[in-house]
Amino acid sequence: MRLAVGRKRCYIACMEIRELILAEDAEKPMRLDAALAAACTEISRARFQALIREGQVSINGAAVSDPSRKVEPATRAKVVIPPPAPAEPEPEPIALNIVHEDADLIVIDKPAGLVVHPGAGNATGTLVNALLHHAGDSLSGIGGVARPGIVHRLDKETSGLLVIAKNDTAHKSLSAQFADHGREGPLERAYAAIVWGEPSRARGSVDAAIARDPSNARKMAVRGGGRHAVTHWQKLKTYDAGGKPVAALVECRLETGRTHQIRLHMAHIGHPVMGDPVYGTGFKSKAALLGPPARQALENLGRQALHARLLAFAHPKTGKTMRFESELPQDMANLLEALESGA
């Protein structure tokens, strides 16, 4: 395997590992991403930023994750470059839980762990790959080759209902309904969430703008100047441990649909979704308040306790209101049962 060393000798052949000398001619420390891009001009700085965040860059044998990290002149770095993903997703025989299907659309009950469409680190094994195998060329092309038929999304570890467009007419109609957020039509989206603590009121709304977290590109944050976001929530049941409220089952309804909206908004009001590895990390110690069965159920859950349980919309061809409900998946049901025992 040929290794590319130094700015003048960076080869773009099909390599998987590259060793580079960074900031070779610099008079002072440079940002890591800028130094990599200068040492290997055939690869963009944005691409190097992505590789750094994915843990594919190491200095002195230790992986680094911050593109803005400063490197001294003549620093040696190793870069692992994954093989390029195919331009178009390939059909894969992945089982789907199809709730409804007709000539215009498919309604899927997505399990936790299934990514909706291909992206960085998820080139295969996605819902799109499964849909291409199931429906072939009959999916809408509006979303592009990587997202055929995709009208809306759920996070990888969020389970529940999704509607897929099978033609462009259906896609345009459904997209318009989601953009309108049900103000003038029957669109409804309701989620069941198990959250830490007990909200002080029976119901409420979170109106807080959402933008990308400036300190972590994989997270969102409540920030002024972000995109308008509103979540309405209702407390359904509270669960105690040792005589004190420790968790609650809430229903969340979206007035807008931003990335990580429910997870971020519930954390913003002090009640993060149980099991959330991104926005609920500050509540990990709360697990000590749970009895052994509940702690085990939470550990077995291994994801955010969030499920898209209700989806309603107007059929793009007939105009008839289509309404679908999904029962809680077994992992969330097991957690509620353990919390119910109070142990």
Domain 86-180: assigned CATH number: 3.30.2350.10
Closest CA to 248 of 230, 268, 270, 226: 270
Q: Which of 33, 104, 109, 155 is catalytic?
A: 155
pLDDT greater at residue 66 or residue 44: 66
Query: What's residue 87's pLDDT?
Result: 56
Which has the minimum average pLDDT: 90-94, 123-127, 207-211, 225-229? 123-127
Query: What's residue 136's pLDDT?
Result: 76
- Say whether 86-180 and 7-80 share the same fold: no
Do residues 197 and 245 lie in contact, with contact meaning Cβ atoms separated by under 8 Å? yes
β-bridge partners, 238 = 248
Confidence band of 38 (pLDDT split at 50, 70, 90): confident
- The winner for highest mean pLDDT among 120-124, 223-227, 283-287 is 223-227
Classify residue 171 by its DSSP letter: H
Verify whether residue 276 is a known catalytic residue: no
State the greatest distance between any 2 C-alpha atoms of the chain, in Å, as a whole number. 69
pLDDT tens by residue, 167-193? 889 999 999 999 888 788 899 999 999
Q: How confident is the prediction for the chain on average, in pLDDT?
A: 87
Mean pLDDT of 126-149: 77
Q: Is 32 helix (H, G, I), strand (E, B) or coil?
A: helix
The pTM (predicted TM-score) of the whole model is 0.74
Query: What's residue 318's pLDDT?
Result: 95
Query: What's residue 17's pLDDT?
Result: 83
Mean pLDDT of 79-93: 75
Confidence band of 120 (pLDDT split at 50, 70, 90): low
Query: What's residue 5's pLDDT?
Result: 38
Query: What's residue 149's pLDDT?
Result: 81
Mean pLDDT of 240-253: 92
Mean pLDDT of 104-118: 92
Topology, domain 7-80: 3.10.290
Query: What's residue 40's pLDDT?
Result: 82
Query: What's residue 1's pLDDT?
Result: 30
Mean pLDDT of 229-243: 93
In this predicted structure, the answer to whether residue 150 has a pLDDT above a threshold of 90 is no
Q: What whole-number distance in Å separates Cα of residue 157 and Cα of residue 143?
A: 22
* DSSP annotation string for 259-277: TTHHHHHHHHTT-PBTT-T
Query: What's residue 144's pLDDT?
Result: 63
Query: What's residue 41's pLDDT?
Result: 75
CATH entry 3.30.2350.10 includes domain 183-343: yes
In this predicted structure, the answer to whether residue 303 has a pLDDT above a threshold of 70 is yes
**Domain ranges, ordered by start, for the chain:** 7-80, 86-180, 183-343
Q: What whole-number distance in Å separates Cα of residue 110 and Cα of residue 307?
A: 9
Torsional sign, CA 30, 35, 37, 41: positive
H or E element that contains 47 = helix 45-53
Do residues 312 and 320 lie in contact, with contact meaning Cβ atoms separated by under 8 Å? no
In this predicted structure, the answer to whether residue 9 has a pLDDT above a threshold of 60 is no
Q: What whole-number distance in Å separates Cα of residue 197 and Cα of residue 244?
A: 9
Q: What is the CA radius of gyration of the chain?
A: 23
In Å, how far are 244, 248, 312, 340 from 200, measured between CA atoms? 13, 11, 29, 19
Mean pLDDT of 310-330: 97
Query: What's residue 124's pLDDT?
Result: 80
